[in-house]
Amino acid sequence: MPGPAAWFTVLVFGFLYLPIGMVVANSFNADTSLIGWGGFTFKWYSQTLSDPRVRADFVTSVEVALISTAISLVIAVSTGLWTRTASARARRLVDSTTYMRIVLPEVVMALALFLVLRRYRVGLGIPTIVAGHVVFNSAYATLIIQARLATMTTTLEQAASDLGATPWRAFRRVTLPLLLPAIVVAALLITSFSFDDVVTSLFLGGPNTETLPVLLLGLIRVNVTPEVNAIATGVTTITIVSFMMAAAVMTVRGIAGGRQQLGPAGEDAA
């Protein structure tokens, strides 16, 4: 017999997931008014997919996510490698800026960036949204990369250099492969953060650039149409898949990172 704690758990889960379930269900609901169940349909999806505005915003979202992820990873890896050899004081200073980017309210950072950009008359668009996303995404990625680097000593790079590898080659052949699982996890995580971000994208997108979540926000102000449910379901699916891939990589981390598995048979591409 389930006790009160179990019932409470059910209640909480219901509160959390029922609305999302409703959105998903309604995205297949043929009833336009969404009051009752009018039968199963893919109509809203086909309508959404053929809507030029939705398609344009989807492309914008993907562009912003990919570019901001790439830039964030470069910043994160460089910061991580640098902090290994930095003095304790310099390291504390840089670490605190990393934490600050996560702790500070997003709306404050977006607003601050918006004011600075306006002050210098920088046109808003994809580059400014990317810049805004990089601010927090690079911080999350840095934490993940640093956690991995903390488990690696510099001895392996020294061994590589002792065996004739230049600093760049040592990075390419030793550091990067060992860091790869962490890089993949960070990439998937921050891609999803970027993909479902509203606040920064809204402030820094300007009048002519909008991402999918920003479009959603605009649409529900007027009227919750069935397409809104279809778009929301789409965004949710992409985010969840990305998150699940990150989790999967984390669990197989031990196996991952294996590159160049060349044997003596010599079927190498080098």
Partner 1 sequence: MTAATAAEGTATAVGLVGLERSFGEHQAVKGIDLEIRDGEFFSLIGPSGCGKTTTLRMIAGLETPSDGRVFVHGRDVTPTPAHRRPVNTVFQHFALFPHLTVFENVAFGLRERRTPKAELRARVREMLEQVGLTGRERARPKELSGGQQQRVALARSLVLQPEVLLLDEPLGALDLKLRRQMQGVLKQLQREIGITFVYVTHDQEEAFSMSDRVGIMNAGRLEQVGAPRDVYHRPQTLFVADFVGASNQIPATILEGASASRLRADLGSLGVVEVPGAAALAPGAAAAAILRPESTGPIGAGGGVSLTGRLVDVAYLGPQVQYTIDAAPAGEVIVLQGSQADEGGARLGEECTFTWPAGAIWLVPA
Contact residues for partner 1, defined by CB under 8 A? 155-156, 158-167, 169-170, 173-174, 177-178, 257-264, 266, 268, 270
Tokens standing for 11? 């209640």
Kindly tell me which of 234 and 257 has the beta carbon lying closer to partner 1. 257
Kindly tell me which of 39 and 164 has the beta carbon lying closer to partner 1. 164
Q: How far, in Å, CA of 184 to CA of 243, rounded? A: 11
Closest CA to 204 of 127, 98, 136: 127
Q: Is residue 17 classed exposed, middle or buried when 0-12, 13-18 and 19+ CB atoms within 10 A define those classes?
A: exposed
Least separation, in Å, of the C-beta of 260 and partner 1? 6
Kindly tell me which of 31 and 162 has the beta carbon lying closer to partner 1. 162
Least separation, in Å, of the C-beta of 159 and partner 1? 4
At residue 157, φ and ψ (nearest 5 deg) are: -70, -35
Kindly tell me which of 78 and 158 has the beta carbon lying closer to partner 1. 158
Least separation, in Å, of the C-beta of 203 and partner 1? 42
List 40's β-bridge partners, or say none. Answer: 29
Least separation, in Å, of the C-beta of 155 and partner 1? 5
Tokens standing for 177? 């492969």
At residue 81, φ and ψ (nearest 5 deg) are: -65, -40
Kindly tell me which of 5 and 270 has the beta carbon lying closer to partner 1. 270
Kindly tell me which of 86 and 198 has the beta carbon lying closer to partner 1. 86
Least separation, in Å, of the C-beta of 255 and partner 1? 11
What does the DSSP assignment read for 111-174? HHHHHHHHHTTPPPSHHHHHHHHHHHHHHHHHHHHHHHHTT--THHHHHHHHTT--HHHHIIII
Q: How far, in Å, CA of 94 to CA of 108, rounded? A: 21
Least separation, in Å, of the C-beta of 87 and partner 1? 11
Kindly tell me which of 107 and 163 has the beta carbon lying closer to partner 1. 163
Least separation, in Å, of the C-beta of 196 and partner 1? 33
Phi-psi category of residue 164: left, alpha or beta, with phi > 0 → left and psi -120 to 50 → alpha: left
Count of beta carbons in the 10 Å neighbourhood of residue 217: 14
Count of beta carbons in the 10 Å neighbourhood of residue 265: 6
